[in-house]
Amino acid sequence: MPNIPNLDRIITIATMKSVLEPLGLLAKDVVVKRVKSGYGLSPGFSKVKLKALSNSYKEWRSGKAVYFQKGGSRIRISKEKWRSISEPVLGEFGSPSRSNLTLTGQLLESIQSRINDSGKVELFIPDTVRKGIRLKNGKIIPNRARVTNAQVAKYVQEQGRDFFNFTDGEIRILTDEYQKLINEAIERFNF
């Protein structure tokens, strides 16, 4: 086997926290920016528009109507009939009709990165309980069921809104940044 000078030191640098942590933050940022733009992933991991919101959900998000289940039937009540209907306060990038997983912003904000036991960066959505949904009239729809961000992520993906992975182009961005971080660390340590 050929002798590659300083290979052990380069491997050590490539797995240092100071190299991997910024990569994890960038990985989160890549996913969040894509989703906020309204894009998810196809089964082949190419970038595709997120599945559209249902008309009833858009109406609720805009404060035009609410829907209830009663006796197996779906009941729509319009704002004209029930004036206390109030639309939710949307996340920073939310809009009533745009599918970008930002009703409250809690799901995307909850994404975290960590260095796992194998020394690899991984993104995850913690099983943290979500806050209630704040309405523009000041009221809050409480989270009585104690739904977690991980459960919401699973649900939206089951509904055809896959988002929690990377496209080939995003992997290239992360790979290039990883190489840059390694090179900067090598320069810092005077290789």
Domain ranges for the chain: 16-53+87-188
Check whether 1 has a pLDDT greater than 60: no
Q: What is the mean pLDDT of residues 43-61?
A: 91
Check whether 2 has a pLDDT greater than 60: no
How would residue 112 be classed by pLDDT, with cut points 50, 70 and 90?
A: very high
The pTM of this model reads 0.85
Q: Do residues 31 and 167 make contact, with C-beta atoms less than 8 angstroms apart?
A: no
CA end-to-end distance (rounded Å), the chain: 22
What pLDDT sits at residue 49? Answer: 95
- Indicate the range of 28-32, 91-95, 177-181 predicted with least confidence: 91-95
How would residue 164 be classed by pLDDT, with cut points 50, 70 and 90?
A: very high
What pLDDT sits at residue 85? Answer: 75
What pLDDT sits at residue 167? Answer: 95
Rounded Cα distance, 87 and 66, in Å:
9
Top-confidence residue, 67 or 84: 67
Q: What is the mean pLDDT of residues 80-107?
A: 85
Q: Do residues 125 and 14 make contact, with C-beta atoms less than 8 angstroms apart?
A: no
Check whether 191 has a pLDDT greater than 80: no
Q: Which residue has the tokens 């050590």?
A: 12
Percent of the chain with pLDDT over 90: 52
Instruction: Report the chain's C-alpha Rg in angstroms.
Output: 22
